[in-house]
Amino acid sequence: MPQMDHAQFEALWQRAKAQPLARRTTSAPVQPDLSLTGIVNHYMTMAALQREWGKLTQQDYNDLEAAVNTLKIVLARINDSELVAEAAARNATAIQAKFARPAS
Amino acid sequence: MTQINLAQAAAASATVADIKIEEIVLGGVTIGQLTLENTSLDLNSGSAALDSVRIVLTLDFQFDWWINLGFWSDSGSADLGTMSFAIDLGNVSIPSLGNIPLSVPNIALASLNAAFAPISSIDLGGGNLAGIAASNITLPKNGFSLSGLGIGAITIGGFQVPEATAAQVSIQEFRPNASLVLPQATLGPIQIPQASAADVQTTAPVSFTGSASQQALSLSLGVLGGTINVTPTAYISIGTLQLQGVALTGSVAQAILQNIGVPVDIRGFSLNSIDIAGITANNITG
């Protein structure tokens, strides 16, 4: 723990008196792909690992992949990612309104 | 008047029946090194007055989060920032203190036992003799007789006297050139009596920092969760710190004094009833 001299304490004291919250977070927000396309992509990655470990047969994997590819054609046509992003933005607004506190 | 100068004289042996020294004056003692071993000091009681005490309390927040959906998972850490609070405590009085190490400049010690190492091979490096007087010298001791001889001037290459006596030799002052060196002295254990110190007051503001261990608050919602970590740090400033009614006790297990130098001045040095055997003198002129 580095010690500070009196001049450094005075500077810290004045800053703390003027603004109690000295520093805000600068971390980047987490933006996972929550579209159905993104989810099935993650799902197929997991299924490939299960096939390698012998938990899933090659035939089952092939059937699963064919079904997913058919689904992806439809998802691409309806622009699945944009639909989910719009829904997420609406939900975020509703959540902020729910937990918003009046300014003190 | 006839003078006899002895250029060189030597005696084979001599005995002295009585040696008296009236006074030995010791000069300022010099100590080469003083070592205090296992010194312990205890502050028995005392109070403290702290003026203008201010604290800046800072809380550092960090959030460790995780998401686990089975087919997909993620985790990370987010710096939530810092909150600082300025707290003015004003003047603070502490009624009793303990275990504060203090340095007291002077402590009087009494009734100490000293153990000195044996002194050997004393070499005072010569010295100055003043006021030497010998009386009632008989040379030779058993006497000789000579008649019908008158001498105006004489030079003798050398002579030997088998035995001589002197009733008394006195030396007014003998001052060795070198100090008497005591190689080592050991004191201890020494119990320091209770000593009171004047009030101690700082001359400048005192600032210091203390940080507590990290505190954590965890939350798990099944597929997602996280932990909020808080690290509090206190920055403290004391305008004036005053210690009052300070009393100190302690002990020293052992004190070692090394290379003790003592200048010596020997006065009133007298030798009585001296017998000198086998005196040889060379180059005597008169």
Residues of B in Cβ contact (< 8 Å) with A13? 54, 56, 86, 237
Range of the domain at B135: 5-102+111-285
Among B74, B81, B207, select the one facing A24 at the smallest CB separation.
B81
Contact B85, B54 (CB under 8 A): no
The residue segments making up the domain with residue A75 are: 30-99
User: In this structure, are residues B192 and B128 in contact, taking their beta carbons and an 8 Å threshold?
Assistant: no
pLDDT tens for residues B123-180?
555 556 566 565 665 555 565 444 444 445 555 555 555 565 655 666 666 666 666 6
Q: Between B160 and A49, whose confidence is greater?
A: A49
With CA atoms as reference, the chain A residue closest to B61 would be A25
Q: Is the pLDDT of residue B28 over 80?
A: no
Question: Among the ranges A40-44, B72-76, B189-193, which has the highest mean pLDDT value?
Answer: A40-44
How high is the pLDDT of residue B245?
A: 77
Predicted confidence (pLDDT) at residue B22 exceeds the cutoff of 70: no
Residue A64 lies in a domain: yes
A1 in a structural domain: no
Question: Rounded to whole angstroms, how far apart are CA atoms A37 and A71?
Answer: 9
Q: pTM of this prediction? A: 0.47
- Put simply, the answer to whether A12 touches B56 (Cβ < 8 Å) is yes
Which one, of B9, B283, B270, B269, lies nearest residue B139 by Cα? B9
Q: How many CB pairs under 8 A join A and B?
A: 77
The nearest CA of chain A is from the CA of B245 a distance in Å of 27
ipTM of the complex: 0.71
Give A-chain residues touching B74 at CB under 8 angstroms: 30, 32
User: What integer pLDDT is reported at residue B242 of this predicted model?
Assistant: 83
Tokens 């992003």 belong to A85
In a domain, A36, yes or no: yes
Specify the higher pLDDT residue, A59 or B28. A59
Question: Considering only B29-38, B54-63, B134-143, B149-158, which range has the smallest mean pLDDT?
Answer: B149-158
CB contact under 8 A, A30 and B65: yes
Instruction: List the single residue in B56, B207, B209 with the smallest CB-CB distance to A1.
Output: B209
Number of domains in chain B: 1
How near does any CA of chain B get to the CA of A10, in Å?
A: 9
Q: Is B256 a residue whose pLDDT tops 80?
A: no
Among the partner-chain residues B78, B84, B233, the one whose CB lies closest to the CB of A27 is B78
Within a domain: A24: no
Residues B62-91 have a mean pLDDT of 86
- The predicted structure's pLDDT at residue A51: 96
Contact B71 A24 (CB under 8 A): no
B21-30, B131-140, B194-203: lowest mean pLDDT where?
Answer: B131-140
pLDDT at B205: 83
Do A16 and B86 touch, CB atoms closer than 8 A?
Answer: yes
For residue B285, pLDDT over 60 is answered with no
Question: Which one has a higher pLDDT value, B47 or B127?
Answer: B47
Q: Please report whether residue A14 resides in a domain.
A: no
**Closest residue in A to B213 (Cα–Cα):** A1
Sort out which chain A residues have CB atoms less than 8 A from B71's CB and list them. 39, 42-43, 45-46
Q: Are B219 and B60 in contact (CB under 8 A)?
A: no
**Residue B72, pLDDT score:** 82
Q: Which of A14, A23, A43 to probe the B interface (max B CBs under 10 A)?
A: A23
Looking at the domain assignment, is residue A16 inside a domain?
no
Residue A74's pLDDT band, with cuts at 50, 70 and 90, is: very high
How many domains, in total, are found in chain A? Answer: 1
**A89 contacts chain B (CB < 8 A):** no
Q: Does A31 touch chain B (CB under 8 A)?
A: no
Q: Is residue A6 part of a domain?
A: no
pLDDT of B95: 80
**Is B235 or B9 the better-scoring residue by pLDDT?**
B235
Suggest the residue from A13, A14, A31, A39 to mutate for an interface test with chain B (most B CBs closer than 10 A): A13
Q: Which residues of A touch B210 (CB under 8 A)?
A: 1
CA B87 to chain centre: 48
CA distance A100 to chain B (A): 19
- Domain assignment of residue A75, yes or no: yes
Which chain A residue has its CA at the smallest distance from B206's CA? A6
